[in-house]
Structure 1
Amino acid sequence: TAVLEKIVKESLRDRVILFFTFAIPMFFVLIMPFMWGDAPQELMPPLKGGLCLTMITFMMMVAGQSNLAGFIASDRERGLYLRIISMPVTPLKEALGRISGIVVFSLLGAGLVFIVGILYGAEFTGGTTDVVESLGFFVLIMVASTGIGLIIASVVKGESAATHTGIALTLLTAFVGGMFAPYPMLPSFLQVVARIHPVASANASIVYLLQGELVSYYNPLTQWQVILTIMGSCALFAAGVAMYSKLCWRRR
């Protein structure tokens, strides 16, 4: 609980974190529709809805991959792990506390992005079952993103380097995974990346569930892709926790 509160409070106090995590996704929600000038007006509400969902995913990626990595790297630089390694706290429990803080912070951001999207005309067509299933995919996005954040924090030294590495990976994933461009416009090899990367695949699944294939451009809910998304997310998280426990807690 103490770690959770620490992460949330530090996140809300840091203007840079608030800018990159909250302001940038909301900015894209407001600006990108101007690039759809040729789209029929009746398609604008569902397109805005799909954009809103994607920006929530983007925000969660920044929080999990960049903010989490930056917090861990900062604490390591201050020698925190050398002080707590002898305390009755396991690496897993401490990591889960950090992740819980990131989750709470992300929920606040998701609510803000969603409200901005609704006020700007976003509409969603999914039913209750689709919403519940979408929440499951959002959980997978957070699982994968925090796993990547733990991996970054374990191998990249320095708060600034870890933070910027997380942002770079987030942008790279968004561009090559079809989050910033329609799936049909991607080269064939990037379409494969969009299907196998757990975050990109989960985001496409959410958009498909709540907006339909008209906005997602393909059906990502095939059996093999869903299984791959679940396994990939869990594998990234497990690898992140293992590397965090070994490289951060035992580093002298």
Structure 2
Amino acid sequence: MSAYTALTGAGYRAQVRDRTTLFFTFAFPLLFLVVFGLIFKGQAVEESGLSYLSYTAAGVLSWGVANAAVFGIAFTLMQWRSDDILRLIRMSPAPLTAVIGSRYAIALVVGAVQSLLFVGVAMLPVFGLEPASGWPLLVPVLALGVTTFLLLGVIIGSFADTPESVAAVANFLMLPMAFLSGSFFPLDSMPEWLRTVSLVMPLRYLNDAVSHALAGRGDSSDVLVGCAGLLAFAVVFGAVAMKTFRWTRSS
């Protein structure tokens, strides 16, 4: 059995056995969909004519997938370093690519399950989401989103040494980003300066691309711009992650 296979299997078993992780990964984002879907049911965004659900479903899906990618690997790296598991892996023939690659494979599967579950619930008659014709674009868009935010999680997991610090840093980044990038409320209703600020946040690009693919908001250029933005952030996060990764607390 290869190191990659062993690490992936171990990560999968840890994921499915932790009920708290399962709840916050799959059920928690759905709560936002249910709350916003019921509150704004039947209402439309004046500027575009699209329903609020079309905005919030795409935005909350993007935030949920990104959040899971960040927290999943950040907590894992912190815990493995704290328990000296990373040090033992470093002493073995297993390369760093096997460590990160195993978590990446799990993050992709988690993102796929999240998306299927989320879109399935949003399409129930009580919410009535009708996916746009470009919905297959969700596959590459979300895969690129998982890649970008997983690399951000590697950076957080390399700096943070306790569960509390991981949660504090990750929430400090992800929660404001969700509100300022249009995950919970349409950017069209925000001041112009906030829309400008959102351009320096990777979640804005994921939101825009998913919004077009899932709800038909904007045009196909939104997907291209969104993917280009995510790719740029992925390159930056990847470079920083390579420089900051720590096998132990001291190195």
2:78 maps to 1:73:
yes
Find the aligned partners of 1:203 and 1:20 in 2 and give their Cα distance.
Answer: 20
* Structure 1 partner of 2:247: 248
The residue identity in structure 2 corresponding to 1:175 is F
* Structure 1 partner of 2:183: 179
Q: Residue 86 of structure 1 is aligned with which of 86, 91, 97?
A: 91
The residue identity in structure 1 corresponding to 2:189 is M
In structure 2, the CA distance between the partners of 1:211 and 1:223, relative to structure 1 (3 Å rule), is closer
- Trace 1:202-241 onto structure 2 (pairs within 5 A): 202-213=206-217, 221=222, 226-241=227-242
- In structure 1, runs of 5+ residues without a counterpart are none
Deviating more after overlay: 3-12 vs 46-55 = 46-55
- In structure 2, runs of 5+ residues without a counterpart are none
Deviating more after overlay: 70-79 vs 95-104 = 95-104
Find the aligned partners of 1:118 and 1:37 in 2 and give their Cα distance.
Answer: 13
Q: Structure 1 or 2: larger helix share?
A: 1
Q: Does structure 2 conserve the Cα–Cα contact (< 8 Å) formed by 1:99 and 1:146?
A: yes
- Cα deviation for residue 80 of structure 1 reads 0.8
- Cα deviation for residue 210 of structure 1 reads 2.9
In structure 2, the CA distance between the partners of 1:225 and 1:25, relative to structure 1 (3 Å rule), is closer
Find the aligned partners of 1:6 and 1:53 in 2 and give their Cα distance.
Answer: 31
Q: Does structure 1 conserve the Cα–Cα contact (< 8 Å) formed by 2:151 and 2:241?
A: yes
2:106 maps to 1:105:
no
Q: Does structure 2 conserve the Cα–Cα contact (< 8 Å) formed by 1:8 and 1:102?
A: no
Find the aligned partners of 2:51 and 2:222 in 1 and give their Cα distance.
Answer: 19
SS at 2:222 equivalent: coil
Q: Does structure 2 conserve the Cα–Cα contact (< 8 Å) formed by 1:46 and 1:123?
A: no
Q: Does structure 2 conserve the Cα–Cα contact (< 8 Å) formed by 1:124 and 1:211?
A: yes
2:224 maps to 1:192:
no
Find the aligned partners of 1:250 and 1:85 in 2 and give their Cα distance.
Answer: 13
* Structure 2 partner of 1:124: 130
The residue identity in structure 2 corresponding to 1:233 is A
Deviating more after overlay: 46-55 vs 66-75 = 46-55
Q: Deviations over 1:221-246 (max 9, x none)?
A: 287665333212332234224422xx
Q: Does structure 1 conserve the Cα–Cα contact (< 8 Å) formed by 2:33 and 2:122?
A: yes
* Structure 1 partner of 2:56: 51
The residue identity in structure 1 corresponding to 2:167 is T
Find the aligned partners of 1:170 and 1:204 in 2 and give their Cα distance.
Answer: 17
Q: Deviations over 1:121-142 (max 9, x none)?
A: 3433422xx2333322212210
Q: Deviations over 1:152-204 (max 9, x none)?
A: 01111112321342233221210111211111222323212333422221221
In structure 2, the CA distance between the partners of 1:125 and 1:15, relative to structure 1 (3 Å rule), is closer
Q: Deviations over 1:25-53 (max 9, x none)?
A: 1111111123226726xx99954344333
Q: Residue 139 of structure 1 is aligned with which of 111, 119, 143?
A: 143
TM-score for the superposition, normalised by structure 2: 0.84
